[in-house]
Amino acid sequence: MFAIIGLVIVIGSVLGGYLLSHGNIMVLVQPYEFLIIGGAAFGTLFVGNPLPVVMGVFKGALGIFKGSPYSKAFYLEQLKMLNDIFNHARKNGLVKLEADVEEPDKSQLFTKYPKFIKDHHAVHFVCDTLRMSISGGVGHFEIDQMMEMDIEIHHHEKTAPVTALTTVSDAFPGLGIVAAVLGIVITMGALGGPPEEIGHHVAAALVGTFLGILLSYGFFGPIAGSMAHTNAAEREYYNFLRIGLISFIRGAAPILAVEFARRSIPAHERPSFKEMEKTCKGVPA
């Protein structure tokens, strides 16, 4: 929502200021400039990145308009899930979790939490960790190392589209200059013609520079920044899962392991202990 509001403010401020200065809006409509700048920008994106990264750019850019899923309500649901898992394991033994971690999509323990089940990487992250603990022979230190490595690799993969979009954003001003130079070339060919025609060509050339700078600093740069914030929030979520799981594997009581996980939640989304306690007990908020 905030991304949409921000883009509307950018467009409204630029066009509003232009129109208040008695500018002609039709002068800014230069399809060829859009074709040159936009086509070249997307071309550089495809040249410099493999297909999965390119797809990640489009998916991540669209994702910022949905807002971050990692809200206080989301974390409360995840805390309740961890509490259920840990209490089930403490009461029946870790071995009883084997069927659940082997087929989480059929597990009554996991399917109660649809937001978790939809995140396939989070499901594998939790289930693979529990599987290693159930198998025995693997210390909690090694399991913690594996979880940290998993988080780091996943975060690196999610960062690649942000880097690619940032590179494209940085290229927009240069591509705007390319479009402007081509416009000047056309203008030079029109010398000797009517002044109105020359003026039109000069305006079209300057629009190229304007578009390149605006698209870079007003659109694609901020979008890349928003994607980076989303990735950081996702990493905090996986670290939250890691803290809870490793605390329980080390021998902490279920409520203490859940409290360790709660303390790892960023302050602006962290529920209070009472909110967590009520949620884990199934008491309506």
Residue 190 φ/ψ, nearest 5 degrees: -100, 0
Above pLDDT 90, what percent of the chain?
Answer: 61
The confidence band for 283, taking pLDDT boundaries of 50, 70 and 90, is low
Over residues 157-167, the mean pLDDT reads 95
Task: Examine the pLDDT at 285 and tell me if it is beyond 60.
Answer: no
Instruction: Quote the pTM value.
Output: 0.87
CB-neighbour burial class of residue 1 (10 A; exposed 0-12, middle 13-18, buried 19+): exposed
| Least confident window among 14-23, 121-130, 146-155, 263-272 | 14-23
| Distances 114 to 27, 108, 239, 244, 268 between C-alpha atoms, Å | 51, 11, 20, 19, 24
The confidence band for 284, taking pLDDT boundaries of 50, 70 and 90, is low
Amino acid, single-letter form, for residue 246:
I
CA-based nearest residue to 68, from 213, 226, 222: 226
24 SS3 class? coil
Task: Examine the pLDDT at 99 and tell me if it is beyond 90.
Answer: no
pLDDT in tens, 52-73: 999 999 999 998 888 888 999 9
| Helices (H), ranges, the chain | 2-20, 31-48, 51-63, 72-92, 98-102, 114-118, 120-135, 140-189, 195-214, 221-249, 254-263, 273-280
pLDDT for 31 equals: 86
| Least confident window among 53-57, 98-102, 202-206, 276-280 | 202-206
pLDDT for 54 equals: 94
pLDDT for 55 equals: 94
Over residues 33-43, the mean pLDDT reads 92
| Least confident window among 87-101, 148-162, 207-221, 261-275 | 87-101
pLDDT for 205 equals: 85
**What CA–CA distance (Å, rounded) separates 227 from 161?**
9
pLDDT for 212 equals: 93
The ranges assigned to domains in the chain are: 43-174+213-280
The confidence band for 1, taking pLDDT boundaries of 50, 70 and 90, is low
pLDDT for 142 equals: 92
